Amino acid sequence: MADITDIKAILYTEKSLSLQENGTVVIQTSTRMTKNRLKEVLKEYFGITPLKVNSMRVAGKVKRFKGIPGKRNDYKKFYVQLPEGAALENIGA
Q: Per DSSP, what are the bridge partners of residue 57? A: 76
The pLDDT value recorded for residue 40 is 93
- pLDDT at position 4 is 86
Torsion over CA: 43, 48, 49, 52 (sign): negative
The rounded distance, in Å, linking the Cα atoms of 50 and 53 is 7
Tens-place pLDDT, residues 40-91: 999 998 888 999 999 999 999 999 999 999 999 999 999 999 988 777 765 5
pTM exceeds 0.75 for this model: yes
Nearest CA among 19, 1, 8 for reference residue 90: 8
Domains in the chain with CATH codes:
4-24+35-81 (3.30.70.330)
What pLDDT is stored for residue 27 in this prediction? 95
pLDDT of the residue at 91: 52
Q: 39 by DSSP, 3-state: which?
A: helix
